[in-house]
Chains A and B, each alone.
Chain A
Amino acid sequence: MIRGREAEPVRPVRPGRPGPPGDGYGGPAPLLVYAAATALTCAALAGTLWHGLHEPGNALAFATLIAIGEIARWGAAPGEREPAPLGAAGALAYALLGECQGEPTTHGVLQVIAVVVVCALAGAVPQLARGQYHALDHVVRRVLSVTFAAVCFQPLYNSGELGQWARGASYALFLVVLLVLTALCDALLSALILRTRTGFPYGPLLRDELRALLGIGSAVCATGTVIALAVAVAGLWALPVFCVPLLLTQLSFRRYEGVRATYRQTIVSLARSTEIAGYTPSGHACRVAALSRAVGREMGLTGKELTVLEYAALMHDIGQLSLVDPVPHGATVLLPAARQRRIALLGGAVVRQTGVPAEVAVVVERQADPYREQPLPARIVRAVNAYDDLAGGGGGAGGAPGALERLRLDAGRDYQPEVVESLARVLGRGGPGEPSPPALAGPGTPDPAGTPFPAGTPFPAGTPFPAGTPSPAGKPGREPAATDAGRAAPPGERSRTGPGTLPGTAPETPVRPGSPGAAPPGEPQGPVAPHPE
């Protein structure tokens, strides 16, 4: 819980990923976490049934709040860190509830856990029904962190100890400190889950999680405290009133995420324009971006650095748009260095016109420089680009051994050895994404990012759909599929897919069949078009 995404979507598990939730990469840690959560849940439910419900009114009111808060999760983007801030705040507030309108309460730890589990599970049912088991990760984290808060607070309060040494303002401060500790625990826990899911180093993941605490996480903490205090003063009426600011925060957050996703889609479109123009092989930009991102993570980059790296990797070939004739197969790695640098500078000029941070343009401009003069993201993009060019896009699960060997040979001269080794490790794990890519594209998998065109559709040459079939609304028949692909598979999503199964860049784009541009690249330049280089 206590989550907000400051910069980067980290997807614990790809939606639609089949299989039980505990089988991630990297050992028994998630099993332990899941086992602990399950044991707690059973104990809480049994204990609550045995002792009966204390203050059922309170329990019902908070349960309603948490359940409503959890409903918000349905509309969440797949990578959202805290898809249900209201549910989180409500659960924390219930864990920290001491008085209700001046009357002391007696519900204990077990009842808190029971209420939260039931509501969180109810909120996760629609996702689970669609096979999105990553929803369980959220439930587990919520259960464990609420348990932490409740165990720290309820026994102290119920025994009357707390009332003796914390009154008034110090009581409020105590609640805040407790929630901050809870948030830290939750960050540790969720970084652990991510680590076991993705195999990336723990430190950077934790740094990402902690950074996210500053965003919506702090709003959740504050609201949890405020609700607990306000119910103590004003009774249950405070619940609906005091949720409004957090709802506002959530709406702002969603809107922000929405525009970020759109922005990303536009950048991907810009990046793919070189593919459609026939300058680079289909899917190259997205493959390089996904792989660069994974290598960047492997090397400990976080947050904004990863975004810069990803945008730069997406647009690294954009300079080729200025060329009159495409480079053979778009493989700039085979060109002379001076020409590579020239293309890089042209690309930087285009990138500067987009709204991306200036660092991205620097990375693009300097991608062809000797690696010792480059910033780290440029070194990564350079190595990954070379790998993809050499592997010809057919890297496969284990990577293309020949291409990797060649990079290793040139490491130290053209490429930074650490980058190449990180790349090798990422490829050794099966590519940029999940360790089980075959399952992702398996038949029958409900794949929201499925290829919108059946493979082999001769896209640009053929009529997109039979003449006269568009609906009167002006929405061509194929549009929904395309829309889904665009929404369900933002580029970040691609980082979970193996090379070659990139949604939206699938091999449905045979570049310009029969057009002069697809003519042999060695073709001499015509006199009419002055080469801009």
Chain B
Amino acid sequence: MRSVPATAHAYILCAVLCAAACALPLPRQDIPVDWSAVCLLAALYALCELPAHCRYLGKALPISAGSFFPVLLTAAFLLPCAATPLIAVPGALVGRVERRPAGVRRIWRAAQLSLATWSASRTHVLLGGERTLSDPGGPGFPHALLPAAAGAVAFCLVLTLLEAGILATAERLPPHTAWRGLLLRSLVPHLTHGLAGLMMAVLWTSPYGPVSALFVLLPMYISCWLFGQYHRERTAHQATIRALVQAVDLKDRYTRGHSERVGRASVLIARELGWDERRVEVIRFAGILHDVGKLGVPTRVLRKDGPLTPEERRVIQLHPEYGHEIVRGIGFLGDARAAILYHHERMDGTGYPSGLAGDRIPEFARVVAVADAFDAMTSTRSYSRARPVPVALAELERCAGAQFDPAMVEALVSALERHGWESEVTADEATAAPTGEAPAKDVRGIPSQPVRVADRTPGGAG
């Protein structure tokens, strides 16, 4: 837990003052405010946020922040501008806060949502949205879309700008990059929320009344619930992949931590080569799972201390094929399966299992081969002690062309120059605490679910 910097405090104070200023015209008598609608919407928003706050209910009904933005946008489309900052306040104050200090975060969230709602309302009014909704003889439906969409975009812009500001002041992230990332991710969801808000507003003012507007929230809520379920399954799936790797460790104790490190080194090479994120993800899995075929090799052979007989060597050399056979059914691995099958091929065609040469070896396999050899050299094995990184790199460069793809070796060298290599740390962690610590370490090795930027501590100190 860290204290909030003074700049962030000042920033939050500014936001609160701005939000208050937006609501300032409210006491004036000349603005017609439908107070029952204000109370209903505010209560509705608070009610929606409440289950997340309750510990037991919140677990059963996992909802992420933002599931109920349509309520806020409905308010922005229905109410006079000055009343809109009030709607988010009760909900934000009772809502769930993931990290401490809770009080400051709640106040910040209230101010942020109030400002965003107010700007959505302001934009909506400026584009003449008010007439499209409230007048019975108004211009009607297609015309209501533009102001509503603009309102949603304004909501999104203000929300992400304020978020980027707090990230810059409290977490010291560069504001520009933080904002762009946030905006790109949230524009489409917010537009959808805008449409849902418009639907709610239309039904709210219709003869069918506010009750019918509630039905709109149900699909939105179920989407959010599914989103939570999706992340839960994803996490479970990653744990299962780890379990596959750990099953190998059960048999071959010397490889503990090896798979993770090969995954990491493969990612370094892939990033250096400028691969896109999707392929980087695949190569990560390829690296992690490259030796999964050792599950098929008899434990007795894997654990043998002395020199191997030719027959035993032949059995061990079957492991790429066993690995390919094991992961054959996992659809999402895609090209990673080829990498698992061919990671012992050599550029000169003398490798196994198929004796492919040069470009015929899939690119993924060439990456994993280099990463695998590098980690094997820099970590302690039953038959050899760990070599220092520069020595290993020199050895790789010596074998480039005959055994390894020179481009991959070069990429690894330059990636390590930039990022360094922490083989020892990981290996110690893994051997010191095989069960307790390994998952914590693995979080970095296996892609974890996207973390909301606001929750990330700089330097990955979580």
**Contact indicator B240/A267 (Cβ below 8 Å):** yes
Q: Which of A245, A261, A353, A468 contacts B195 (CB 8 A)?
A: A245
**Contact indicator B236/A355 (Cβ below 8 Å):** yes
Query: Is B335 part of the binding interface, using a Cβ–Cβ cutoff of 8 Å?
Result: yes
A495 to chain B, nearest CB (A): 16
**Contact indicator A475/B195 (Cβ below 8 Å):** no
Cα–Cα, bound, A347→B223 (Å): 36
**Contact indicator A229/B212 (Cβ below 8 Å):** yes
B194-236, CB < 8 A from A: 195-196, 198-199, 202-203, 206-212, 215-216, 218-220, 222-223, 226-227, 229-230, 233-236
**Contact indicator B365/A474 (Cβ below 8 Å):** yes
Q: Which of A354, A483, A529 contacts B236 (CB 8 A)?
A: A354
Dominant SS at the B interface? Answer: helix
B337 to chain A, nearest CB (A): 7
B448 to chain A, nearest CB (A): 13
**Contact indicator A261/B338 (Cβ below 8 Å):** no
**Contact indicator A528/B303 (Cβ below 8 Å):** yes
Cα–Cα, bound, A512→B317 (Å): 12
Cα–Cα, bound, A167→B300 (Å): 79
**Contact indicator A219/B325 (Cβ below 8 Å):** no
Bin the interface of chain A by size: 35 or more
**Contact indicator B233/A256 (Cβ below 8 Å):** yes
Q: Which of A218, A245, A472 contacts B192 (CB 8 A)?
A: A245
**Contact indicator A270/B192 (Cβ below 8 Å):** no
**Contact indicator A169/B208 (Cβ below 8 Å):** yes
Given A172-B212, A230-B202, check contact A529 B299 (CB 8 Å): yes
Q: Which of A54-62, A107-115, A318-326 contacts B (4 or more CB under 8 A)?
A: A318-326
Question: Chain B CB within 10 Å — which of A215, A233, A323 has the most?
Answer: A233
**Contact indicator A246/B239 (Cβ below 8 Å):** no
**Contact indicator A262/B330 (Cβ below 8 Å):** yes
**Contact indicator B240/A215 (Cβ below 8 Å):** no
Interface bits B290-324 vs A (CB < 8 Å: 1, else 0): 00110111111101111000011001001001101
B148 to chain A, nearest CB (A): 9
Interface bits A216-239 vs B (CB < 8 Å: 1, else 0): 101100110110011011110110
**Contact indicator B362/A470 (Cβ below 8 Å):** yes
Interface bits A232-255 vs B (CB < 8 Å: 1, else 0): 111101100110111011011101
**Contact indicator A356/B236 (Cβ below 8 Å):** yes
B220 to chain A, nearest CB (A): 5
**Contact indicator B321/A459 (Cβ below 8 Å):** yes
**Contact indicator B298/A233 (Cβ below 8 Å):** no
Given A262-B332, A278-B296, check contact A353 B242 (CB 8 Å): yes
Question: Chain A CB within 10 Å — which of B242, B334, B337, B359 has the most?
Answer: B337
Cα–Cα, bound, A531→B134 (Å): 80
Query: Is A74 part of the binding interface, using a Cβ–Cβ cutoff of 8 Å?
Result: no
**Contact indicator B206/A229 (Cβ below 8 Å):** yes
Query: Is B140 part of the binding interface, using a Cβ–Cβ cutoff of 8 Å?
Result: yes
Query: Is A105 part of the binding interface, using a Cβ–Cβ cutoff of 8 Å?
Result: no
**Contact indicator B354/A464 (Cβ below 8 Å):** yes
- B195 CB contacts on chain A under 8 angstroms: 241-242, 244-245
A475-531, CB < 8 A from B: 475-476, 479, 482-483, 485-487, 504, 509, 512, 515-517, 526, 528-529
**Contact indicator B140/A350 (Cβ below 8 Å):** no
Cα–Cα, bound, A172→B203 (Å): 10
**Contact indicator B222/A215 (Cβ below 8 Å):** yes
**Contact indicator A350/B250 (Cβ below 8 Å):** yes
Query: Is A467 part of the binding interface, using a Cβ–Cβ cutoff of 8 Å?
Result: yes
Interface bits B114-126 vs A (CB < 8 Å: 1, else 0): 0000000000000
Cα–Cα, bound, A256→B226 (Å): 7
**Contact indicator B328/A226 (Cβ below 8 Å):** no
Q: Which of A218, A219, A229, A475 contacts B208 (CB 8 A)?
A: A229
Cα–Cα, bound, A225→B312 (Å): 69
A256-278, CB < 8 A from B: 256, 259-263, 265-270, 272-273, 276-278
Further 14 A-B residue pairs, CB within 8 A, beyond A475-B338, A528-B305? A173-B211, A176-B215, A218-B222, A219-B223, A245-B220, A256-B230, A263-B236, A355-B235, A355-B240, A460-B318, A474-B361, A516-B301, A517-B300, A528-B303
Residues in chain B within 8 A of chain A (CB atoms): 140-142, 145, 192, 195-196, 198-199, 202-203, 206-212, 215-216, 218-220, 222-223, 226-227, 229-230, 233-244, 246-247, 250-251, 292-293, 295-301, 303-306, 311-312, 315, 318, 321-322, 324-332, 334-335, 337-338, 341-342, 353-357, 359-365, 435
> What are 28 A-B contacts defined by CB distance under 8 Å?
A218-B218, A222-B216, A222-B219, A223-B215, A237-B140, A244-B192, A245-B223, A248-B220, A259-B233, A260-B233, A261-B331, A265-B330, A265-B331, A265-B332, A270-B240, A270-B243, A273-B292, A276-B293, A459-B321, A460-B322, A474-B335, A474-B338, A475-B362, A483-B334, A486-B330, A504-B328, A529-B300, A529-B304
Residues in chain A within 8 A of chain B (CB atoms): 167-169, 171-173, 176, 215-216, 218-219, 222-223, 225-226, 229-230, 232-235, 237-238, 241-242, 244-246, 248-249, 251-253, 255-256, 259-263, 265-270, 272-273, 276-278, 318, 321-325, 350-351, 353-356, 452, 459-461, 463-465, 467-468, 470, 472-476, 479, 482-483, 485-487, 504, 509, 512, 515-517, 526, 528-529
